[in-house]
């Protein structure tokens, strides 16, 4: 999962090309002589997709192994170039955070922009690095990943107890915590399940 570029654009209502307000690219995984062409392609596709994303809408455009995600919030448009494996929900969560942060830092000053900005915006560069892991952008994905790790650890713990040669049957028989009824239930359940097991 990789994010190649994040851009902020001002969409023009008259149908003119959108204006780039901020741009962060990581083209290090491309060949040295391809990098300038890739940057130009990113700018071209960003303008094209932003121009065709109506205000208040989100869209994703597939191009080979990449997806271009776009979110236009009343003329302020965030664009993300991600590979095909980056989760869509995480991508739009990231674009939403980028727009929020841009408005917090710059307010409505973007509305008066008349030309592309060449000034770096450190937040966008940091976001490009930080959100390479989709779980950072999407808190639900992060929680799900933590739950999955906990479940794996739990299974490993039970397996390690059984791997030491201790049989669950002998533990049940020796346990003073279980009543006779619970021990009988365990042995009956085990007998019932044995008839159904496939070897």
Q: What is the pLDDT of residues 156-193, one digit of tens each?
A: 555 665 555 555 556 555 665 556 666 667 677 767 76
User: What integer pLDDT is reported at residue 139 of this predicted model?
Assistant: 62
90, 138 in Cβ contact below 8 A?
yes
Rg of the chain (C-alpha set): 27
- Reported as a single tens digit per residue, the pLDDT across 21-48 is 988 888 888 888 888 888 888 888 888 8
- Reported as a single tens digit per residue, the pLDDT across 66-122 is 888 999 988 899 999 888 888 888 888 888 888 999 999 888 888 888 888 878 889
Token look-up 């890739």 returns 38
Dihedral angle computed from the Cα positions of residues 29, 30, 31 and 37, in that order, rounded to the nearest 10 degrees: -150
Domains detected in the chain: 3-162 (3.30.450.50)
CB atoms within 10 A of CB 187: 13
- DSSP-derived pairing of the beta strands 19-25 and 58-63: unpaired
- Reported as a single tens digit per residue, the pLDDT across 175-184 is 655 566 666 6
Of 80, 77, 82, nearest in space to 103 by CA: 77
Dihedral angle computed from the Cα positions of residues 69, 42, 11 and 116, in that order, rounded to the nearest 10 degrees: 140
pLDDT at 153 over 70: no
User: What integer pLDDT is reported at residue 110 of this predicted model?
Assistant: 85
What span, in angstroms and rounded, lies between the C-alpha atoms of 55 and 12?
Answer: 11
User: What integer pLDDT is reported at residue 78 of this predicted model?
Assistant: 92
């Amino acid at each position: 999962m990789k994010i190649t570029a994040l851009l902020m654009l001002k969409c023009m209502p008259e149908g003119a090309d959108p204006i780039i307000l901020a741009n962060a690219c990581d083209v290090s995984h491309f060949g040295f002589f391809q990098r300038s062409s890739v940057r130009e392609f990113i700018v071209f596709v960003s303008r094209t997709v932003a121009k065709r994303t109506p205000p208040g809408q989100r869209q994703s455009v597939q191009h080979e192994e990449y997806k271009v995600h776009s979110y236009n919030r009343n003329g302020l448009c965030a664009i993300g170039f991600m590979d095909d494996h980056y989760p869509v929900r995480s991508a739009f969560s990231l674009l939403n955070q980028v727009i929020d942060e841009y408005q917090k830092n710059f307010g409505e000053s973007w509305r008066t922009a008349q030309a592309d900005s060449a000034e770096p915006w450190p937040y966008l560069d940091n976001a490009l690095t930080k959100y390479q892991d989709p779980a950072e952008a999407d808190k639900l994905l992060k929680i799900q990943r933590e739950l999955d790790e906990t479940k794996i650890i739990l299974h490993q713990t039970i397996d390690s107890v059984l791997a030491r040669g201790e049989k669950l049957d002998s533990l049940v028989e020796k346990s003073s915590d279980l009543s006779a009824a619970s021990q009988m239930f365990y042995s009956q359940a085990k007998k019932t399940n044995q008839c159904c097991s496939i070897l």
